[in-house]
Structure 1
Amino acid sequence: MAEKKMEIGVIGLGKFGLRMASTLVSLGHTVLGIDMSEARVQRAEEALDTVYKADATNIAVLRSLHVQDLDWVVISVGQSVEQSLSITLNVQELGGPKIWVKASNEEHKKILQRLHVTRAMVPETEAAVMAAHQLTHPGMLDLIPKYGGIAIQELRVEQWDGKTLVELNLMQKYGVMVMGIRPAGKNEFVFVPPAMTELRKGDALVVAGKADSMSQLNP
């Protein structure tokens, strides 16, 4: 099934907001950019099709831009907690979009969570946690703290040469699921491989599970 293309508003086009907006465009989504700074709006026009210089703390302005019709709204307005909360409440009052907010600190994040936004995050905190886990777990591709510290990691087969997935029984022993295999010398992954798949030295496995469990594996 093809990925659903979404209409997404990004309010606040500083470094973080503009990077997110331009990445969303590259993924094929339609992005509406909003910022109060003329300079940031002009810079964003190089990457986005639709950008407005507007005050998002004014709910009438958001309504006139049809923000209520979007699938998502990303709010990334720098260090002003008051401005961030004002915009968040405006978007909630309009109804419709899911709301993703960049928080400036943990206290800001807690307030946003009490407002029941879809997602609130402190990028610096999440990046630091991710970097620490990648340092101590080489090959880790991603960490999902919201779901109990679930890690996604790439492993290179050495000791498991000649064994099948059913023999290894990783889910029962470690709570680790094999999501995909890239056979040695190949460029493409086989996703959700059959249990009788026999591993060979040099194969790359993408696995998911608790970070603690990953450290027990000796592939």
Structure 2
Amino acid sequence: MRLFAFVGLGSFAMSMLERIAEITDQIIAVDDDQSRIEHIKEMVSTAYTMNLLDEEAFERVFHDPVDVAVVDIEENSAALLLVTYRLKKLGVPEIIVKSNSEEYEELLRMAGASRVVNSDKEAASRVTPLVLSSSLTNFMPISGDLVLAEVIAPNFVVGKTVIEGDLRREHHINVVAVKYASEMNAEKESTGVFHDLDATYRFNAGDVLLVTGKESDVFEFSSIQKSAERAKKQVNYNALLKNIFTHKK
């Protein structure tokens, strides 16, 4: 059984702990706030109120090998670095750190973090596309520039099969599954589930397609396009950066 450690019980860590506690109680939780420890002590195997910067206390608590550590110390970036370093020193293989500062991300990785979570940034990356396009109903970055998205079937695919639409070659996206428009209620909310894609199925207006692809290709497929002026500025900016780095060589 894997052993999980939570150092600092900010909102991110608390949410993760509550989900993990539904599966296992092999959890160590520490925080300097007694009220937070009281809130979760029945969910975990071990809970301590302690000074998170006390190295001796830290080593006493984490004497057993920990598989995954989650660090969420609110409003104390120096403590984040120190705690991350100490967990790495203890040999914790996976350390997930919540940080609100992009400036600290590289330092946290150098200190030993295997993943740095910026919840505000990640939330924005999921919500912004939904604001930009009324065709997108859900959007999730997966890895690098690869995304998974739910897209209301564009007009140019209605009446066509996935093969006739040639979506992979023409639009560089893959359709994974489909929610049928016939399973939508009057409020346009789905009352059904996604169905495996049938290559002979002809898309109907209002179908929701579950697609994967590069962010830029999914954006284009769902009718999100940069304005000509914005695209021109981006090209000029990229050219400027290229010249700067060329001169530096």
Fold match (TM-score > 0.5): yes
**What do residues 121-169 of structure 1 show as CA deviations (whole Å, max 9, x unaligned)?**
2222322343322211332523428502x33221223633332112222
Q: 1:49 aligns with which of 44, 52, 58?
A: 44
- Contact 2:6–2:70, Cα closer than 8 Å, also in 1: yes
Of 13-22 and 82-91, more deviation after overlay is shown by 13-22
**What is the TM-score with the length of structure 1 in the denominator?**
0.80
**What do residues 23-64 of structure 1 show as CA deviations (whole Å, max 9, x unaligned)?**
3334x2444322121111112236x23332234444554454
Cα RMSD for the two superposed structures? 2.8
- Contact 1:57–1:90, Cα closer than 8 Å, also in 2: no
Match of 1:131 in 2: 127
* Residue 203 (structure 2) pairs with residue 199 (structure 1): yes
User: SS at the partner of 2:37?
Assistant: helix
User: SS at the partner of 2:160?
Assistant: coil
User: SS at the partner of 2:176?
Assistant: strand
Unaligned runs of 5+ in 1: none
**What do residues 79-135 of structure 1 show as CA deviations (whole Å, max 9, x unaligned)?**
211211111111111114301101131111121133352111222232234332221
Alignment identity in percent?
Answer: 19
Q: Counterpart amino acid of 1:189? A: F
Match of 2:164 in 1: 167
Match of 2:82 in 1: 86
* Residue 189 (structure 2) pairs with residue 189 (structure 1): no
* Residue 176 (structure 2) pairs with residue 179 (structure 1): yes
Matches within 5 A, 1:70-109: 70-109=66-105
* Residue 212 (structure 2) pairs with residue 215 (structure 1): no
User: SS at the partner of 1:134?
Assistant: helix
Q: Decide whether aligned partners of structure 1 residues 8 and 42 sit closer, same or farther in structure 2, where only a CA change above 3 A counts.
A: same
Size of the aligned set, in residue pairs, is: 211
Q: How far apart, in 1, do the equivalents of 2:21 and 2:57 lie?
A: 23
Which has a greater percent of helix? 2
User: SS at the partner of 1:173?
Assistant: helix
